[in-house]
Amino acid sequence: MNNFSIISSLLDNDFYKFTMQNAVIKLFPFAKAKYEFINRGKHFFPKNFDKILKENLNKMAYLKLSKEERVFLEKNCPYLDSSYLDFLNKYRYNPKEVNIYQKGKNIKMNIEGLWSSTILWEVPLMAIISELYYKLTGIKPISDKKIIILTKNKIKKYKKLQVKIGEYGTRRRYSYQVHKLVLKILKKEGYPFFIGSSNVHFSHIFSIKPIGTQGHEWIMFHAAKYGFNIADRIAMENWLHIYNGNLGIALSDTFTSPIFFKNFNKKLSNIFKGVRHDSGNPISFIKETIKHYKKFKINPIKKKIIFSDNLNPYKVAYISSFCKKKIIPFFGIGSNFTNDIGYPSMNIVIKMVKALPEKKWISVIKLSNVKEKNTGKKNVIFLAKKILHI
């Protein structure tokens, strides 16, 4: 167990972490961030879990970008410029940024440091926690053979629906090996409907396109710096400034979708290729998005919605049939690919809780379209709702 390293590549992470890191270095190089582990599923952790977790974390300090990995990024992500790739060459995980302690069966964890440095921790840490949890609690998956059959059946359904799908399951995967197995099948059987993975390491291994844009923390930080009312808009404008229309999917639910649409003005609605739905009723969201585009005389059939909220074949069928001839749907499928092993997957998150844009720490929050996905201090959530008239 102790010789086993769960994360073996610097790129075993979600693509949007690297795209955000690039933007952070260029626009907010001195900003700091604090993150916290949130055990939404109230999982009980076995004895000494914190120690084994720390061992894995310490090993990550030795990871570095290989020459082949750099070449892969240069070829497949031309919008990540050489100054960023030089930074990534020198980047090393710093385990001192992560503080873990265990009290009984509960794990507490926080991360603190320069935003440009701490931003890469969240996804691999969650993948490690998930894999260790199953190993140490003795939860065995179904056989590889069954995983292969299950995955093939899902692909058949998606092919029948003729929908474009991506794999987004790094953070809550059962294990590295299960993740790898699933992607092998997706690559082999998924053409032309499987469009890529959010995991950059596996994208490299299987020669597929890494997919993703930005996460909620990008907009949460902008709220700390510029205020809740205009955070969405300035976050999108800054994104355009860095990426010139590449990676053009806007995230719509950091401070609820109605607030996002108020910020998503005509210029932004035209330039961005589409929006991402990550919480709330998908059908209401589709209607809201179409109405928004039509208001600006933009044809919605030329725009995309990326759905990424806890999907499975049944939900995908339901959503895609509603989108027909209205707007283009894409689906980012997470744990239903990488952790469909006969047990419920873990319900854990790591979220930014504070940001230091300049001189003082400011609490950050997320106001999702569903209450369960809100994060941050209650008093700050209350204040934000008041300011935003929610």
Phi, psi of 243 (to 5 degrees): -110, 0
| Confidence at residue 1, expressed as pLDDT on a 0 to 100 scale | 43
Domain membership of residue 292 (yes or no) is: no
Residue 329: in which H helix or E strand, if any? Answer: strand 328-333
Is residue 359 assigned to a domain? Answer: yes
- Judge if pTM exceeds 0.85: yes
User: Which CATH number characterizes residue 92's domain?
Assistant: 3.20.140.10
Distance CA 324, CA 351 (A): 35
**CA–CA distance, 219 with 11 (Å, rounded to integer):** 23
Are 328 and 274 within 8 A, CB to CB?
yes
Residue 61 lies inside a defined structural domain of this protein: yes
With respect to residue 207, please indicate whether it lies within any of the assigned structural domains: no
Q: Is residue 262 part of a domain?
A: no
Give the bridge partners for 108, in sequence order.
101
- Taking the C-alpha atoms of residue 262 and residue 233, their distance in angstroms, rounded to an integer, is 9
In a domain, 204, yes or no: no
Judge whether 371 lies within some domain: yes
* Dihedral over alpha carbons 123, 129, 131, 134 (to 10 degrees): -150
Q: CA end-to-end span of the chain, whole Å?
A: 49
pLDDT along the chain (390 residues), means of 10: 77 98 98 97 96 96 98 97 98 98 96 98 98 94 95 96 97 96 96 96 96 96 97 98 96 97 98 97 98 98 96 96 97 95 92 96 94 90 93
Q: Is 162 left (phi over 0), alpha (psi -120 to 50) or beta?
A: left
Is residue 4 one of the residues assigned to a domain? no
H helix or E strand, kind and range, residue 197: strand 194-197
Residue 371 structural domain: 15-140+345-388
Query: What is the rounded radius of gyration, in angstroms, for the C-alpha atoms of the chain?
Result: 20
Backbone angles phi, psi at 42, to 5 degrees: 50, 45
Number of domains in the chain: 1
